[in-house]
Amino acid sequence: MWVAELNVDLLGVGVDAPLWWSSGESGARHADRWLRGRYPKARNSVMLINSIFGGVLIQGFLFAAELRQRFPDLPVTEAHPKLLMHARKQGFEALARDSGLMVGPNLVHESNDDRRDAVVAALAAREGFSGSWTHDLADLRPLCGEQAASERALRPVDYWWFE
């Protein structure tokens, strides 16, 4: 895996994909319901598990699982970069500037969704694991059919949110 070849100390990782699942109605998770209720104008960007394309659903989970195999104590958080920018009422450049990120325009720009979202997911990891963000949506009581924290394959897993 390319991350292991970087020879860096990983402090945590943010993944823009669901990291636990639900067999409940539409695959609903409490974190998703909370976000959809909190941000009604962007509720459609918070897709329920049964509405997500297979590659999106599986690849983020597999990335986190492979990182955990190589770095067993690595803190992992789920992230929702597009919703985070909506909720903060900031575009990427403003969010990066206000968060003290040093990101060059040749590396990340508004038109490159994948890189931008990876940087914002890393920001969520930094803020959550440093204690700056204390609201962990992964701690919400599971809905009927949702995996409880003790049942999650990637446990422990967080879902740090800024408010």
Q: Read off the pLDDT band of 56 (50, 70, 90).
A: confident
pLDDT of residue 4: 63
Q: Which of 112, 79, 70, 66 is nearest to 93 (CA)?
A: 112
Q: Which range, of 35-44, 110-119, 132-141, averages the lowest pLDDT? A: 110-119
Residue 50 and residue 79: Cα distance in Å, rounded?
A: 18
Q: 103 and 96 in contact (C-beta within 8 Å)?
A: yes
Spans of all domains in the chain: 11-161
**pLDDT tens-digit readout, 73-101:** 999 999 999 999 999 999 888 998 899 98
Q: Read off the pLDDT band of 131 (50, 70, 90).
A: very high
* Cis status, amide bond into 75, omega within 30 of 0: no
Q: Which of 88, 155, 159, 80 is nearest to 117 (CA)?
A: 80
Above 80 in pLDDT, residue 163?
yes
The interaxial angle of helices 113-129 and 81-88, nearest 10 deg, is 70
Structure tokens at 90: 């900031």
Above 90 in pLDDT, residue 110?
no
Percentage, residues of the chain above pLDDT 90 = 69
pLDDT of residue 114: 85
pLDDT of residue 121: 96
pLDDT of residue 145: 95
Percentage, residues of the chain above pLDDT 70 = 91
Q: Read off the pLDDT band of 109 (50, 70, 90).
A: low
What angle (nearest 5°) sits at the alpha carbon of residue 49, between those of residues 45 and 55? 90
pLDDT of residue 112: 67
Average pLDDT, the chain: 90
